[in-house]
Amino acid sequence: MENEHKRKSLPAILVCVFTLINVSAPVFQNSFRVGWVYIDHELNLTGFAQYLWYFMIFNALFTIFYAVRFFTRRGGRKANIVFGALFGLSSLFGAVFQLDNYISSVIARPEAFAYYVPRLLPWALALVGVPFLLLAWPALRLKQSLRRGLSVGLSAAFLLCMVIPALHLQPLRIVAGPLVLDTGTGSYSVVFATNKPSYGAVRYRYQDKDKIISSKENVVKRVGKIHSVLVPREELENNTYTIEAQEVKDVRAYQSRLSYGKAISEKIKFKGGRDIADPKIMSYSDWHQQIPTLRRAAAQWEAPDLVLLLGDYCDYYLNEDDVIRNVIGGGSIASFGGTVPAIFVRGNHEVRANEMDEQRLWADLGLPAFYYEVTRGNYIFTVLDSAEAEWYSDSWQHEDAYEAMGYFANQLDWLATLEPAPEGAYRLVLSHDSDFVSDSTDVAYHKAWNALPQAQQQGDSSFQSRYQAELLRLGVALSIHGHSHAYRLTEHDANKQLRRLEDGGYGTIGGTGVGFGPLTLKNGVPRYSCSRLTFRGDEIEIRAKDVSIGKDGNDIVTDLETFVIPKRAPQSGLAD
């Protein structure tokens, strides 16, 4: 009797399990689209990915149809055999697809799942719940009063799930920032973000006068979640500023009339010191949305005079909140809550996915471009943009200037217009990836180079050698990079005249567990390292710490190798 009961219950359990797998697949795919699953590589629900999504919706609806037939014992024997076979194929496809999603996406970025699923849940319940009720409701044997009560309850729950998120009832909050970026144009860009569209501004006192500067887009006040306010550098140095936001309930007549709601503010004491003779500089790169790990690493250091942000703050930018949480929020943590100025560098991940399609990140952050120059006292920071590091790879095909290398040619032309560092000054070059200025034997790279028009090649055999020649001409003391997820000091060129620091970062690439250099996982726990550069006399001291979490929940801090090098680049090799 017991064995017969098990035989009867096993098919019901399997139908329940595979129905759950299939009906959750459309939601999971929409949430997991940050992974490397789709052949269109746009990480967007377009092309093949969109058709696959439509199929998963159809698959979910068919599964619901079969489950209702199974549990209500409807249909003839032949029809049930056919539908049972189709259900088996449907379940196999759904299980393989969900497993692929998990391996490719959840491991790479679990917070995407946590972020998107709650937002999609009301629509997912409508997608699967309404067809289920339409099919199953007539078969339910319930008292009339109970049936009416369930109808009212389900309708009310459905309406609340749809209406409440649309009302935006949460209070206005500053959710990220401030982050103070040196634009190199004589202004700081004070960047912060709110949870709702608002009007943002920065208020401070300068020369006994109260000043307020608005976040602007073209010539009108900007209304949105992200605010970047340009403040003259000399007015913010060693001053106290307040970031303010006021909720905007209604925008009319080209923003000439705004209906305001609640206002909020936050005061910050800013540490400037752009002309410090021997500055302490913190360098961060590649935190790949691992904000708690970044926070633990930053807490190991005292506030410096300047912070370098070297790229790859998030894996993929699917929406504005990814920028808010990882670029602005992470950058603010790295720069000690907006108390220290920072210099921003774009990484290869900052060109990927929806939010980067229009290349609008530079405008959101108030920057003049992605390659620019910042002068602070005797130190000149030349920011170069390596853009998509794998621009020559078939894995990432972007229909833009990177493929044809025209963007890099324009950047090289700009670099050629710069003057060498004057006597007593030091130039440091910052970029995310160093490959485009380093010696390389990559076959794909040279194939792409040889395909360029002769006018762009300008008679030279490689971009790297031309970039190297410009760096030598400019008298670069040191270049600092991320991307490799390793901490080391090496040279760019065969003559060992161009020194480069690779800054470390998060201990795994995309969270997949693949470790590089000294930054592998320790006991399965993510690790992160960042560097501090101390300029004193004729030397640069470079020190790094690696931070992970122990089994007791406490931080494990390891001092990595400390380098002490001369400020001026040697004529041959680091040892000279």
Of 38-52, 178-192, 424-438, the poorest mean pLDDT is in 38-52
Residue-wise pLDDT tens digits, 308-363: 999 999 877 777 888 999 999 999 999 999 999 999 999 888 876 655 554 577 88
Residue 572 lies in a domain: no
CATH number for the domain spanning 298: value is: 3.60.21.10
Q: Which of 243, 269, 295 is the last residue of a domain?
A: 269
**Could you tell me what percent of the chain has a pLDDT over 70?**
69
Reported in sequence order, the residue ranges of 295-435 that DSSP labels E, i.e. its strands, are 306-309, 342-344, 372-376, 379-383, 426-430
Dist. CA 30–CA 117, nearest whole Å: 8
* 165: confidence class by pLDDT, cuts 50, 70, 90: low
* 149: confidence class by pLDDT, cuts 50, 70, 90: confident
Q: What are the CA-CA distances from residue 298 to residues 147, 502, 528 (Å)? A: 58, 18, 10
**Mean pLDDT for all residues in the chain:** 77
Averaged pLDDT, 466-471: 85
Residue 186 lies in a domain: no
Averaged pLDDT, 186-205: 93
Alpha helices in 431-498 (DSSP H): 443-450, 454-457, 463-473
345 and 259 in one domain? no
DSSP H/E element including 298: helix 291-298
Averaged pLDDT, 293-310: 94
* 446: confidence class by pLDDT, cuts 50, 70, 90: very low
Instruction: Write the DSSP assignment of 219-270 as a string of letters.
Output: TEE-EEEEEEEEEEHHHHTT-EEEEEEEEEEEEETTTTEEEEEEEEEEEEE-
29 and 125 in one domain? yes
Averaged pLDDT, 256-277: 73
Of 59-73, 271-285, 506-520, the poorest mean pLDDT is in 506-520
Residue-level pLDDT at 384: 93
Dist. CA 153–CA 155, nearest whole Å: 5
Residue-wise pLDDT tens digits, 336-348: 999 999 999 998 8
Contacts of 56 (CB under 8 A, 6+ apart): 22, 25, 26, 29, 94, 97
Residue-level pLDDT at 321: 85
pLDDT higher than 60, residue 437: yes
pLDDT higher than 50, residue 466: yes
236 and 286 in one domain? no
Q: Which of 240, 269, 298 is the last residue of a domain?
A: 269
Residue 477 lies in a domain: yes
Question: Which residue has tokens 């506030």?
Answer: 303
**Which domain range does residue 207 map to?**
191-269
Dist. CA 179–CA 226, nearest whole Å: 11
Contacts of 139 (CB under 8 A, 6+ apart): 68, 72, 74
Give SS3 for 537: coil
The count of structural domains within the chain is 3
Residue 185 lies in a domain: no
Residue-level pLDDT at 405: 56
- Which residue type occupies 504? G
* 233: confidence class by pLDDT, cuts 50, 70, 90: very high
pLDDT higher than 90, residue 459: no
Higher pLDDT: 6 or 54? It is 54
Question: Which residue has tokens 């909050």?
Answer: 173
557 and 454 in one domain? yes
418 and 373 in one domain? yes
* 32: confidence class by pLDDT, cuts 50, 70, 90: low
Residue 339, token pair as written in the block: 């108390």
Question: Which residue has tokens 């399997």?
Answer: 14
422 and 378 in one domain? yes
Residue 252 lies in a domain: yes
* 454: confidence class by pLDDT, cuts 50, 70, 90: low
Of 6-10, 173-177, 379-383, the poorest mean pLDDT is in 6-10
545 and 422 in one domain? yes
Dist. CA 478–CA 497, nearest whole Å: 10
**Highest mean pLDDT (candidates 400-409, 502-511, 538-547):** 538-547
Dist. CA 343–CA 318, nearest whole Å: 24
**Could you tell me what percent of the chain has a pLDDT over 90?**
28
Residue-level pLDDT at 438: 59
501 and 379 in one domain? yes
372 and 242 in one domain? no
pTM value?
0.77
523 and 387 in one domain? yes
Residue 183 lies in a domain: no
Residue 418 lies in a domain: yes
Residue-level pLDDT at 452: 54
pLDDT higher than 60, residue 536: yes
Q: Which of 212, 241, 269 is the last residue of a domain?
A: 269
Higher pLDDT: 193 or 513? It is 193
529 by Cβ neighbours in 10 Å (0-12 / 13-18 / 19+) ranks as buried
Residue-wise pLDDT tens digits, 89-136: 988 888 888 877 766 655 555 666 666 677 777 777 777 777 777 776
Q: What are the CA-CA distances from residue 474 to residues 82, 275, 470, 479, 494 (Å)? A: 75, 21, 6, 12, 18
471 and 333 in one domain? yes
Residue 509: closest CA among 115, 112, 101, 109: 109
196 and 160 in one domain? no
Residue 486 lies in a domain: yes
